[in-house]
């Protein structure tokens, strides 16, 4: 069987890989391979970085007005043709089309934020710090920056970084996930149409070889990575060892703490939306409901009732939840349900073998609810990244908080309560980077910054917002004196006045 091969994007055009190495791309709802992606060779990595490096000086010197006009035009294209990109995402990732459109909308927010970046690129100026001496600072781009993205948000995660990096004057090389690489090419074409000069944005298709190439090449100044924790840690350690600025966002295990006074209907709606949206393949998905007794039984009944109404099937049809990204990933996630059974948990709703509105060969796993999950079980300690929601019962707020703070990850969390004092205590005490108060998926808007704590992030700068601008620029500080007739002559000490 021959399938189309997805190319790189170098120097403003598609470039076919000649490495002879490929990776399959599936349509998860059909369960068949529909394409393959060519994986970069050493020579292609060198070519891609050289092209981005050559394009950098002119883009760095392009006026802010020019850069803003490109970003604004890109925003118009993305907005007008959102559905076209959403359908591409669904065909390779499997998420329902409305959810794919939703991720593009979140990416668009960063594009819109970046259109106003000149405001954040302004430096400081202090007049007369010493007599006749002024000090001022400017922020300048870094050079060629690499972005390495995961499969679960093939448009949104690249768009957390691309608009900010470009507006700051950098060239960008994006290495998308080999599981769903076509969205990156769509973005590349749209940027070209928006007027971005050739070479300023590159798509390098590949696997570990391409990642290692970006991490070690002397012409790559910085790396933004998003993916699983072990790879994030590897990327951070390797990139920094090679002198690069690195931000590496890792995995997650997000808890929702439910206090007895919470509105249980709101909690049940939120748990279902945040647990099963995008088939749980979201780094901000809720994975564990921590129920402070006596609410667990009533809450589980409400959640199970809602789960029974979910329609699972092909994301191009009118469904709530699609398949998982690959057969291998589906089998791995389903394996956790077996682990739960062996570890003595109660499987309340079992997603294995469900009926779907889609092809029988699709990578299906229905929403699954597991009660009484022991906190020693791998179901509790490991990131599952699928439609499996665990319930852990605790006796008090303090017990729930301790559980959350003991976790290895610290990406997102939420508290559900009608007690403002409890919510305020939680926001103060919880060791997690993004906190929702009666909000299940607290992804910050584009003018704040996205990132967690602990093993959910390596590096000290988060994505987008002011921290993103900081990451993609470096500051330069000038001390300046223009001589006037009264200059003070030789003085070997520090100026005092």
Determine, following the binding rule CB under 6 A, whether residue 151 of this chain makes contact with ligand NAD.
Answer: yes
Per DSSP, the three-state class of 236 is: helix
Q: How far apart are CA 79 and CA 108, in angstroms?
A: 7
- Secondary structure string (H, E, C) spanning 424-487: HHHHHHCCCCEEEECCCCCCCCCCCCECCEECCEECCCCECHHHHHHHCEEEEEEEEECCCCCC
The least distance separating ligand NAD from the CB of residue 383, rounded to whole angstroms, comes to 5
Q: How many CA atoms lie within 13 A of 61 on its CB side?
A: 4
Site track for ligand NAD across 351-390, x = CB under 6 A? --------------------------------x-x-----
Phi-psi region of 267 (alpha: psi -120 to 50; beta: other; left: phi over 0): alpha
What number of chain residues touch ligand NAD (CB under 6 A)? Answer: 27
Answer for which of 25, 30, 85, 148 binds ligand NAD (CB under 6 A) is: 148
Of 54-62, 97-105, 142-150, 339-347, which part binds ligand NAD (CB under 6 A)?
142-150
- How distant, in Å, are the alpha carbons of 217, 304, 341, 370 from that of 350? 48, 11, 11, 8
By CB under 6 A, residue 213 contacts ligand NAD: no
**Least distance in angstroms from the C-beta of 53 to ligand NAD:** 21
CB closer to ligand NAD, 169 vs 280: 280
Among 157, 188, 370, 401, binds ligand NAD (CB under 6 A): 157
Tell me the C-alpha to C-alpha distance, in Å, between residue 473 and each of 122, 143, 352. 12, 9, 48
Q: What whole-number distance in Å separates Cα of residue 368 and Cα of residue 451?
A: 27
The token pair at 230 is: 């072990």
Kindly report the number of other CB atoms within 10 A of residue 348's CB atom. 17
Q: How far is the CB of 360 from ligand NAD (least distance, A)?
A: 25
In the complex, the smallest distance separating the C-beta of residue 429 from ligand NAD, rounded to whole angstroms, is 22
Q: Which of 10, 111, 168, 283 is catalytic?
A: 283
Kindly state the helix (H) or strand (E) to which residue 202 belongs, with its residue range. strand 201-203
Residue 254 lies near ligand NAD (rule: CB under 6 A): no
Contacts with ligand NAD, 181-210, as mask; x by CB under 6 A? --------------------------xx--
Strand partners, 476: 138
Q: State the nearest-atom distance from the C-beta of 390 to ligand NAD, in Å.
A: 16
Residue with tokens 């564990």: 288
Of 91 and 224, CB closest to ligand NAD: 224
- For tokens 């973005």, the residue is 187
Nearer to ligand NAD, 203 or 391 (CB): 203
Min CB(230)–ligand NAD separation in Å: 7
Do the Cβ atoms of 217 and 44 come closer than 8 Å?
Answer: no
283 catalytically annotated: yes
Assess contact for 279 and 310: CB atoms under 8 A. no
Q: Which stretch binds ligand NAD (CB under 6 A): 59-67, 99-107, 170-178, 414-422?
A: 170-178
Mark 404-443 with x for binding to ligand NAD (rule: CB under 6 A) and - for no binding.
-------x--------------------------------
| Contact (Cβ atoms closer than 8 angstroms) between residue 39 and residue 17 | yes
Burial class (CB in 10 A: 0-12, 13-18, 19+), 428: exposed
Q: Considering the complex, what minimum distance in angstroms separates the CB of residue 73 from ligand NAD?
A: 28
We find the least distance from the C-beta atom of residue 283 to ligand NAD, in angstroms, to be 3
**Binding-site string for ligand NAD from residue 265 to residue 284, where x marks contact by CB under 6 A and - marks none:** ------------------x-
Q: What is the crossing angle of helices 97-115 and 64-80, to 10°?
A: 160
Name the residue whose CB lies closest to ligand NAD: 227
Return the sign of the alpha-carbon dihedral for residues 12, 18, 21, 22: positive
Q: Which is closer to ligand NAD, CB of 231 or CB of 271?
A: 231
Tell me the window of 150-158, 239-247, 261-269, 347-355 that interacts with ligand NAD (CB under 6 A): 150-158
Task: Decide whether 213 or 362 has the Cβ nearer to ligand NAD.
Answer: 213
Residue nearer to ligand NAD on the CB measure, 171 or 224: 224
- Specify the DSSP element, H or E, that contains 249: strand 245-249
Instruction: Look at the chain and count its residues.
Output: 497
Give the range of 91-99, 152-160, 216-224, 293-301 binding ligand NAD by CB under 6 A.
152-160
Residue 321's CB is within 10 A of a number of other CB atoms, namely: 26
- Of 214-253, which residues contact ligand NAD (CB under 6 A)? 226-228, 231, 249-252
Q: Answer positive or negative: Cα dihedral of 438, 440, 445, 449.
A: positive
Which of 41, 51, 177, 390 is the binder for ligand NAD (CB under 6 A)? 177
Residue 56: CB minimum distance to ligand NAD, A:
23
Distance CA 124, CA 137 (A): 5
Query: Is residue 92 close enough to count as binding ligand NAD by CB under 6 A?
Result: no
CA neighbor of 102 nearest in space, from 358, 277, 325: 277
Give SS3 for 90.
Answer: helix
Q: List active site positions.
A: 283
Per CB under 6 A, residues contacting ligand NAD are: 148-153, 157, 175, 177-178, 207-208, 211, 226-228, 231, 249-252, 283, 383, 385, 411, 452, 456
């Amino acid at each position: 069987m021959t399938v189309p091969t997805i190319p790189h994007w170098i120097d403003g055009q598609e470039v076919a890989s000649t490495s002879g190495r490929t990776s399959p791309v599936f349509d998860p709802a059909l369960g068949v391979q529909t394409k393959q992606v060519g994986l970069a060779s050493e020579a292609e990595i060198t070519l891609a970085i050289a092209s981005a490096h050559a394009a950098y000086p002119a883009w760095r010197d392009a006026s802010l007005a020019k850069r803003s006009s490109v970003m604004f035009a890109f925003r118009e294209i993305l907005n007008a043709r959102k559905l076209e990109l959403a359908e591409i995402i669904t065909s390779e990732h499997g998420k329902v089309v409305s959810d794919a459109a939703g991720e593009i909308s979140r990416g668009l927010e960063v594009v819109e934020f970046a259109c106003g970046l000149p405001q954040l690129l302004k430096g400081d100026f202090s007049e007369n710090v010493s007599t006749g001496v002024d000090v001022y600072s400017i922020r300048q781009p870094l050079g060629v920056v690499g972005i390495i993205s995961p499969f679960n948000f093939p448009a949104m995660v690249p768009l957390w970084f691309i608009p900010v990096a470009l507006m700051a004057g950098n060239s960008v090389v994006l290495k998308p996930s080999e599981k769903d690489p076509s969205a990156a090419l769509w973005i590349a074409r749209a940027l070209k149409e928006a007027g971005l000069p050739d070479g300023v944005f590159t798509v390098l298709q590949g696997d570990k070889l391409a990642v290692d190439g970006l991490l070690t090449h002397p012409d790559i100044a910085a790396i933004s990575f998003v993916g699983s924790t072990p790879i994030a840690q590897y990327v951070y350690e390797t990139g920094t060892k090679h002198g690069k600025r690195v931000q590496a966002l890792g995995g997650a295990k997000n808890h929702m703490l439910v206090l007895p006074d919470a509105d249980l209907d709101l909690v049940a709606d939120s748990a279902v939306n945040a647990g099963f949206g995008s088939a749980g393949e979201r780094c901000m998905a809720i994975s564990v409901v921590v129920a402070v007794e006596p609410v667990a039984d009533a809450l589980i009944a409400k959640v199970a009732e809602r789960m029974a109404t979910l329609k699972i099937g092909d994301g191009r049809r009118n469904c709530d939840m699609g398949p998982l990204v690959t057969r291998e990933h589906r089998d791995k996630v389903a394996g956790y349900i077996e682990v739960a059974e062996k570890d003595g948990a109660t499987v309340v709703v079992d997603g294995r073998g469900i009926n779907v509105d889609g092809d029988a060969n699709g990578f299906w796993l229905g929403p699954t609810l597991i009660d009484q999950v022991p906190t020693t079980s791998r179901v509790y300690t490991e990131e599952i990244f699928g439609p499996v929601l665990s319930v852990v019962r605790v006796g008090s707020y303090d017990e729930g908080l301790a559980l959350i703070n003991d976790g290895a990850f610290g990406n997102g969390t939420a508290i559900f309560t009608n007690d403002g004092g409890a919510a305020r205590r939680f926001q103060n005490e919880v060791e997690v980077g993004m906190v929702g108060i009666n909000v299940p998926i607290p992804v910050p808007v584009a003018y704040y910054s996205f990132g967690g704590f602990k093993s959910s992030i390596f590096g000290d700068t988060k994505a987008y917002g002011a921290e993103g601008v900081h990451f993609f620029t470096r500051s330069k500080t000038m001390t300046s004196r223009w001589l006037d007739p009264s200059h003070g002559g030789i003085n070997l000490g520090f100026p005092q006045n």
